[in-house]
Amino acid sequence: MAWIKRNLFFFIGAVIAVGLLAAAGVYDFQNWRRNNAALDALNQTYTTMQSLLRQNPSPGNDTVNNIEIAGAQAKQLREWIQQSEQYFQPISPIPNPTNGVVVDAEFAAARDHTINQLQIEAGNASVTLPPQYGFSFEAERTMVRFAPGSLGPLAQQLGEVRALCEILFAAKINSLDAIRRVPASPEDASGPQADYLNTPAATNNLAVFMPYEVTFRCFSQDLANVLSSFASSPHGFIVKGVNVQPASGVTTTSSSGPQAMGGPGQSPFGYGGLQPGYAPSSPPAAPTGRGGLQTVLSEQLLSITLDVEIVKLLPAN
């Protein structure tokens, strides 16, 4: 204690120096840890950068900025999607109430009206239909009450089936044999299975792809008109598959409607076979002499099955 009293200022200075040294040691240790952490982060960043540079494509270099190029291409893609929306206009459901809520009575009335209108339009276009055809809505044909949640999908499919039929009738096909759709209500399980597809609708982050299958009979020019109409339609029809075979190998079913008795422009043979009470005469014998025009193309009736998808864009987020 006497020594401390004699050297008080020295002792105080020494204590302060030791404290400063301890603080400096703590400070250096913390900085050392921070430096090591920063070095580890730098090494990790460098490793990631080297990995990215070895990828194909890479982010780029001093002369090529692939990130900027990718951003510009993404902008072009968004602009293209916006421009292409005019080719994917939605098909209005039937019925289409302003509030978007379809009720039982409203759908039942619209269903009957639409089916009747399609049958009349088929007759006016000389298109033969199966007897009392319901256009794939046979299961719902006589219903007045429907399962909860099914009216919206059914109304949408009714509008899409009408759009399909309008293209087929406008192309002047000979007969419509069947339309198949995706089941949309519990009642479809008890309906004619020939009306339904086993393929469900597909959805990605851009659109819903609703499949349909249409089977009809026509000549090659009529098929070309159908495909051309699908291609030029604003409603996003995509023909995924075409199956063609001679109609002579397919059983013909005539319609029980005005068009079955010979609609406007029909021959006495109709499009579903001979009409009742008609006695065909023997065709004239082909000339056997020399000369005359040579037959280059002998057209025959075809049975066509088209796999069609309707692309419905999802609302933009």
Q: Which two tokens stand for residue 101?
A: 């809520």
Confidence label for 252 from pLDDT (cuts 50, 70 and 90) = very low
Confirm whether pTM is higher than 0.85.
no
Three-state secondary structure call for residue 285 = coil
pLDDT at 73 over 60: yes
93, 99, 100, 102 alpha-carbon torsion, rounded to 10°: -80
Written in H, E and C, the secondary structure of 95-154 is: CCCCCCCCCHHHHHHHHHHHHHHHHHHHHHCCCECCCCCCCCCCCCCCCCCCCCCCHHHH
Residue 300's pLDDT is what? 87
Give the number of other CB atoms < 10 A from CB of residue 230. Answer: 19
Cα–Cα nearest to 227, from 167, 141, 147, 154: 167
Number of helical (H) and strand (E) elements in the chain, helices listed first: 6, 5
Distance of CA 95 to the CA centre of its chain: 21
* 262 neighbors 124 (Cβ within 8 angstroms): no
Residue 35: phi and psi, rounded to 5, are -65, -40
Write the CA distances from 118 to 127, 140, 216, 230, 258, integer angstroms.
10, 16, 15, 19, 12
Select the highest-mean-pLDDT range: 71-75, 83-87, 127-131: 127-131
Domain ranges across the chain: 87-263+299-313
Write the CA distances from 70 to 48, 51, 64, 65, integer angstroms.
19, 18, 11, 9
Residues in the chain: 317
Confidence label for 272 from pLDDT (cuts 50, 70 and 90) = very low
Of the listed ranges 36-40, 161-165, 280-284, 307-311, the least confidently predicted one is: 280-284
Confidence label for 69 from pLDDT (cuts 50, 70 and 90) = confident
Confidence label for 43 from pLDDT (cuts 50, 70 and 90) = confident
The superfamily (CATH) of domain 87-263+299-313 is Ribosomal protein S6/Translation elongation factor EF1B (3.30.70.60)
Residue 138's pLDDT is what? 93
Confidence label for 255 from pLDDT (cuts 50, 70 and 90) = very low
Residue 242: phi and psi, rounded to 5, are -130, 125
> What integer is the mean pLDDT of 87-108?
91
Give the tens place of pLDDT for each residue, 153-192. Answer: 999 999 999 999 999 999 999 999 999 999 999 988 888 9
Of the listed ranges 38-47, 87-96, 103-112, the least confidently predicted one is: 38-47
Give the tens place of pLDDT for each residue, 198-251. Answer: 989 999 988 899 999 999 999 999 999 999 999 999 998 999 999 999 988 665
Three-state secondary structure call for residue 20 = helix
**pLDDT > 90: percent of the chain:** 45
Residue 177: burial class (beta carbons within 10 Å; 0-12, 13-18, 19+): buried
Partners of 265 in beta bridges: none
d(CA 100, CA 55): 50
Q: Round the average pLDDT of the chain to a whole number and report it.
A: 81
> What integer is the mean pLDDT of 250-261?
44
Q: Which two tokens stand for residue 109?
A: 């009335």
